[in-house]
Amino acid sequence: MARHSRHEMAARRRPAAVIVGMMGAGKTRLGKEMSQMLGIGFADADQQIEEAIGMSIPKYFARHGEAAFREVERRTVAETLGSFDGIYALGGGAPMTPAVREALHDYAEHGGRVIYLLADPAEAMERARRGGGRPMLDGDADARWMALYEQRDPVYRQVANVIVRTHGMTPKAAARKMIEMTNEGIVHVDGAGIEPYDVRIGEGALNHLPDVLGAGPVRVALIHTQSVQRHSDRARAILRKAGYQVSDIVIPDAEAGKTVQVADGIWQRLGNEGFTRSDAIVGLGGGACTDLAGFVAATWMRGVRYVNCPTSLLAMVDASTGGKTGVNTPQGKNLVGSFYTPAGVLADLRTLTSLPNDIFIEGLGEVAKSGFIRDPEILTILEDHADELRAFDGETFLDSPLKPVVAELIERTVRVKAHHVCADLKEAGLREFLNYGHTFGHAIEQLEHFRWRHGNAVAVGMVYAAELSNLTGHLDRPTVEYTYDLLDRLGLPTSWNGAGFDEVLALMHRDKKARGNTLRFVGLEEIGRPFHLDDPDQQAVREAFERVRQQA
């Protein structure tokens, strides 16, 4: 199920972020820097404890022992997590106490950010030695530090939902990175047959790549299109800095890259370069690229780890999340593929800066779809900001008031998708509602030889589905007119006249939702209430087509 968003914590008095990490990682220094940049308070658990016990922690350790200290620490942390709204730094050993771990899990489950500050071991050990007064490092300090690191690192990773690597960074740069990464939206995806993963939405989300891939892979195939070279350069630098061997694989743009022939070329490359089952795939690009990368990951060695890094609005809200992978054939779209979930999805808002206006707008088709089938607030946001969205300019996007609007639209749309995917990974029922507008839309794409972009085709497909729902007595006319009006205000097409009815009908019979010779659509009874429209009256199917064509 999808977890609470960070916005739901606004009414609660809880820390803006909690920092965990090893001794010498810089939790206090960077926490103070972060709090100053944000203009909020800072608290350090060790300082709180010393004030409460009236002596230094080393003295308390010597007099009462570690168990007594951990109990004081537990009480202090529990109280602060429920009463403080600034940046909170914990002592290195605090998360090792089960009750503290449980409190941190609860905090994170309700939208909190637990930051694992992952410093270079040599830097952290040197700072820890220089700081002194650390009873856990008595004896050979470096050896003790490494032993504690090996014990604590898995626990830090378990409790944290943000991992920030600070090696070689100035305090200000590290603090900015921490702020960037804690401002992300996180949607958690799990369910039957799904290995849980997170979709991260925010400026700088690509920084999570090494942590999502993990320590297992040696080689990483970075699959991307030429049009996103600037972003692939950044991803490659992040991967190489983390120690991975990166194979750069460039594929054709859009649907031309989503074929069995392109996949076969990648399989040949992976074989020649010795990729094993423990290596990984990263797909960076639009929806067609992430679909292909997922398909390659699902089929190479019967399945290897992969991460999706969508660079278009459409890919962020649709193709990259949900575990559908595949390629097109001459007979239809996505007819060959598999359900195979990623290890994570990193929707970095920086990648939208290179997006042309028309490619951004087509992504709004899938955003609107999610509003129609489940979250009406999406439609309200689209209405309120239609003019700004239609005038999207990538060059000014990150510094504009539109950025938080787009971030919220992406997060809400991903939550709609997560709701359906968590309950129905393999599209046996509920997940089919995500195909609202797609039966007619896919036919348009096929008949236009994919010159029409997916989001535009889905927009017309939603108009068709609304008209069909109206003709079959399920949907009122004002909602149909509202569909036309909203999509038009966003700059999306609402009509099409590219082929005759018989050609369209033949392709709709090949749709994945079809059963035998029976047509099957997703219809709408009212906003937020989709339904399965099975074998509708043939005259209504034709009349809906005529209405959409007459508008052209």
Residues with a catalytic annotation lie at 302, 324, 366, 417, 427, 431, 435, 438, 442, 454
Give the type of residue at 195. Answer: E
Q: Is 438 annotated as a binding residue?
A: yes
- Backbone angle region of 122, left / alpha / beta, with phi > 0 → left and psi within -120 to 50 → alpha: alpha
Only one residue has tokens 């609860």, namely 106
Known binding residue 105? Answer is: no
- 256 annotated ligand-binding residue: yes
Q: Strand order in 305-310's β-sheet?
A: 185-191, 194-202, 344-348, 305-310, 280-285, 219-225, 245-251
Does the annotation place 92 within a ligand binding site?
A: yes
**Residue pair 550/501 in contact by the 8 Å Cβ criterion:** no
Distance, CA of 543 to CA of 537 (rounded, Å) = 10
Distance CA(40)–CA(127), nearest Å, equals: 26
Task: Tell me if 51 is assigned to a ligand binding site.
Answer: no
Does 258 count as an annotated binding residue?
yes
Of 468, 447, 444, residue with least CA distance to 456: 444
Closest Cα to residue 417, out of 369, 363, 469? 369
- Any binding-site annotation on 26? yes
* Ligand-binding site membership of 287 (annotated): yes
Please name the helix (run of DSSP H) or strand (run of DSSP E) that holds residue 543, with its range, or none.
Answer: helix 538-550
Q: How far apart are CA 11 and CA 15, in angstroms?
A: 12
**Whether 283 contacts 257, CB under 8 Å:** no
* 355 closest CA partner among 347, 247, 327: 347
For the chain, what is the total number of helices (H) and then of strands (E)? 22, 16
What DSSP assignment string belongs to 235-274?
Answer: HHHHHHHTT-EEEEEEE-SGGGGSBHHHHHHHHHHHHHTT
Q: What angle do CA 187, 192, 198 make, to 5 degrees?
A: 20
242 assigned ligand-binding residue: no
312 is in an annotated binding site: yes
Could you tell me the sign of the dihedral formed by the alpha carbons of 485, 487, 490, 493, in that order? negative
Of 124, 152, 177, the closest CA to residue 17 belongs to 177
Query: Whole-angstrom Cα distance, residue 335 to residue 221?
Result: 25
Residue 285 marked as a ligand binder: no
- The reply to whether 253 sits in an annotated binding site is yes
User: Is 52 within any annotated ligand binding site?
Assistant: no
Q: Rounded distance, CA 22 to CA 286, Å?
A: 38
Encoding tokens for residue 405?
């609007």
Strand runs labelled E in 59-103: 87-89
Query: Quick one: the chain helix, strand, coil %, rounded to 5?
Result: 55, 15, 25
288 is in an annotated binding site: yes
Distance, CA of 261 to CA of 258 (rounded, Å): 8
27 is in an annotated binding site: yes
368-400 burial string, b = 16+ CB within 10 Å, else e? Answer: bbbbbbbbeebbebbeebbeebeebeeeebeee
To the question of whether residue 324 is assigned a binding role by annotation, the answer is yes
291 is in an annotated binding site: yes
41 contacts 35 by C-beta, under 8 angstroms: yes
Q: Are 431 and 341 in contact (CB under 8 A)?
A: no
Q: Let me know how long the chain is.
A: 552
28 is in an annotated binding site: yes
Q: Confirm whether residue 152 is marked as ligand binding.
A: yes
- Residue 135: Cβ within 10 Å count: 14
Residue 64 labeled ligand binder: no
Ligand-binding site membership of 2 (annotated)? no
Q: Which segments are annotated as binding site for NAD(+)?
A: 253-258, 287-291, 311-312, 324, 333
Q: Which segments are annotated as binding site for Zn(2+)?
A: 366, 438, 454
Q: Which segments are annotated as binding site for substrate?
A: 46, 70, 92, 152
Q: Which segments are annotated as binding site for Mg(2+)?
A: 28
Q: Which segments are annotated as binding site?
A: 24-29, 46, 70, 92, 134, 152, 253-258, 287-291, 311-312, 324, 333, 366, 438, 454
